[in-house]
Chain A
Amino acid sequence: MKVGVVTFPGTLDDRDAARAVRFAGGQAISLWHGDEDLHGVDAVILPGGFSYGDYLRCGAISRFAPVMQTIIRRANEGMPLLGICNGFQVLCEAHLLPGALTRNHELHFLCRDQKISIENTTSAWTSAYTQGQEIVIPLKNGEGSFQCDDATLASLENDGRIIARYVGENPNGSRNLIAGITNARGNVVGLMPHPEHAIDTLTGPTADGLGFFTSVLHSMVGK
Chain B
Amino acid sequence: MALDTVAIAQTSPDTKQPFQELGLKEDEYARIREILGRRPTSSELAMYSVMWSEHCSYKSSKVHLKQFGDKAVKTDALLVGIGENAGVVDVGQGYAVTFKIESHNHPSFIEPYQGAATGVGGIVRDILTMGARPIAIMDPLRFGPAEAADTRRVLPGVIAGVGGYGNCLGLPNIGGEVTFDETYAGNPLVNALCIGVMKHSDIKLAKAAGSGNLVVLYGAKTGGDGIGGVSVLASETFGASGPAKRPSVQVGDPYVEKVLIECSLEIFAADLVVGIQDLGGAGLSCATSELASGGTGGMSVELDRVPLRDPSLSPEEILMSESQERMCAIVEPKNINQFLAICKKWDVTATVIGEVTSGDRLEITWHGELIVDVPPRTVAHEGPVYKRPFAEPAYIKQVNSEKVAVPMPTTDAEIKAAVLKLAGTPNLADKSWVTAQYDKYVQGNTIQAQPDDSGMVRVDESTHLGVAVATDANANWSYLNPYEGVKLALAEAARNIATAGAIPLAVSNCLNFGSPEDPGVMWQFAETVRGLADGCLEMGLPVTGGNVSFYNQTGATAILPTPVIAVLGVIDDVRTRTPMSFDRSGLELYLLGETKEDFAGSEWAFIHGQRGGQAPQSDLQAAMRLNSLLVAGRTEKIFIAAHDLSQGGLSATLTEMVLRHGVGANVKLNNTAVDLFSETPGRVIVAIDSSKKDALLTQAKKAQIICTQIGTTGGDSLTINDAVISLAELHKAHTETFPRLFG
Direct A/B contact, Cβ within 8 angstroms: yes
**Contact string, A40-60, partner B, CB cutoff 8 A, digits 1/0?**
000000000110111100000
Q: A49 near B170 (CB under 8 angstroms)?
A: yes
CB of B635, distance to nearest CB on chain A (Å)? 18
Residues of B within 8 A of A52 (CB): 255
Contact A204 B346, CB 8 Å, known A50-B255, A111-B436:
no
Give chain A interface residues in 96-145, CB to chain B under 8 Å: 108-112, 138, 140
In the bound complex, CA of A108 to CA of B155 (Å): 14
Q: B255 near A140 (CB under 8 angstroms)?
A: no
In the bound complex, CA of A34 to CA of B258 (Å): 18
Interface residue? B366 (CB, 8 A): no
Residues of B within 8 A of A197 (CB): 441-442, 444
Q: B437 near A10 (CB under 8 angstroms)?
A: no
Interface residue? B296 (CB, 8 A): no
Give chain B interface residues in 243-289, CB to chain A under 8 Å: 253-256, 258-259, 262
Residues of B within 8 A of A203 (CB): 441, 444-447, 458
Q: B439 near A140 (CB under 8 angstroms)?
A: yes
Known: A13-B170, A111-B440. 10 other contacts (CB 8 A): A12-B170, A34-B345, A49-B170, A50-B168, A53-B168, A108-B437, A111-B441, A138-B441, A196-B444, A203-B447
Residues of B within 8 A of A50 (CB): 167-168, 254-255, 258
Interface residue? A2 (CB, 8 A): no
Interface residue? A194 (CB, 8 A): yes
Residues of B within 8 A of A196 (CB): 444
Q: B445 near A109 (CB under 8 angstroms)?
A: no
Residues of A within 8 A of B163 (CB): 109
Q: B160 near A108 (CB under 8 angstroms)?
A: yes
Q: A111 near B439 (CB under 8 angstroms)?
A: yes
Please tell me the size bucket of the interface on A. Answer: 20 to 34
Interface residue? A16 (CB, 8 A): yes
| 10 closest cross-chain pairs (CB), A and B | A53-B255, A12-B170, A16-B444, A197-B441, A50-B168, A140-B439, A138-B441, A109-B437, A10-B255, A111-B439
In the bound complex, CA of A196 to CA of B445 (Å): 12
In the bound complex, CA of A110 to CA of B436 (Å): 5
Binding site for B on A (CB under 8 A): 9-10, 12-13, 15-16, 19, 34, 49-50, 52-55, 108-112, 138, 140, 194, 196-197, 202-204
In the bound complex, CA of A15 to CA of B172 (Å): 14
Interface residue? B520 (CB, 8 A): no
CB of B658, distance to nearest CB on chain A (Å)? 20
In the bound complex, CA of A52 to CA of B256 (Å): 9
Smallest Cβ-Cβ distance to B172: which chain A residue? A111
Give chain B interface residues in 19-41, CB to chain A under 8 Å: none
**Contact string, B154-177, partner A, CB cutoff 8 A, digits 1/0?**
000000100110011010000000
Interface residue? B347 (CB, 8 A): yes
Smallest Cβ-Cβ distance to A50: which chain B residue? B168
Interface residue? B732 (CB, 8 A): no
Partner of B441, one of A15, A34, A202, A204: A204
Q: A16 near B436 (CB under 8 angstroms)?
A: no
Q: A109 near B164 (CB under 8 angstroms)?
A: yes
- Which of A34, A108, A204 counts the most B-chain CB atoms under 10 A from its CB? A108
In the bound complex, CA of A16 to CA of B440 (Å): 13
In the bound complex, CA of A10 to CA of B259 (Å): 6
Smallest Cβ-Cβ distance to A55: which chain B residue? B255
Residues of B within 8 A of A53 (CB): 168, 253-256, 258
Q: A111 near B437 (CB under 8 angstroms)?
A: yes
Residues of B within 8 A of A49 (CB): 170
Binding site for A on B (CB under 8 A): 160, 163-164, 167-168, 170, 253-256, 258-259, 262, 345-347, 435-447, 458, 461, 574-575
In the bound complex, CA of A140 to CA of B461 (Å): 23
In the bound complex, CA of A16 to CA of B163 (Å): 20
CB of B737, distance to nearest CB on chain A (Å)? 17
Contact A9 B259, CB 8 Å, known A16-B442, A112-B436:
yes
In the bound complex, CA of A196 to CA of B442 (Å): 10
In the bound complex, CA of A34 to CA of B344 (Å): 12
In the bound complex, CA of A49 to CA of B168 (Å): 7
Residues of B within 8 A of A110 (CB): 436-437
Smallest Cβ-Cβ distance to B577: which chain A residue? A202
CB of A49, distance to nearest CB on chain B (Å)? 7
Smallest Cβ-Cβ distance to A49: which chain B residue? B170
In the bound complex, CA of A109 to CA of B447 (Å): 21
Smallest Cβ-Cβ distance to A138: which chain B residue? B441
Smallest Cβ-Cβ distance to A196: which chain B residue? B444
Residues of B within 8 A of A54 (CB): 168, 255
Residues of A within 8 A of B458 (CB): 202-203
Residues of B within 8 A of A140 (CB): 167, 439, 441-442
CB of B583, distance to nearest CB on chain A (Å)? 12
In the bound complex, CA of A196 to CA of B168 (Å): 18
CB of B548, distance to nearest CB on chain A (Å)? 32
28 A-B contacts (beta carbon < 8 Å):
A9-B258, A9-B262, A10-B168, A10-B258, A12-B170, A12-B442, A15-B443, A16-B442, A16-B443, A16-B444, A19-B461, A53-B255, A54-B255, A55-B255, A108-B160, A109-B160, A109-B437, A109-B439, A110-B437, A111-B436, A111-B438, A138-B441, A140-B439, A194-B441, A197-B442, A203-B441, A203-B445, A203-B458
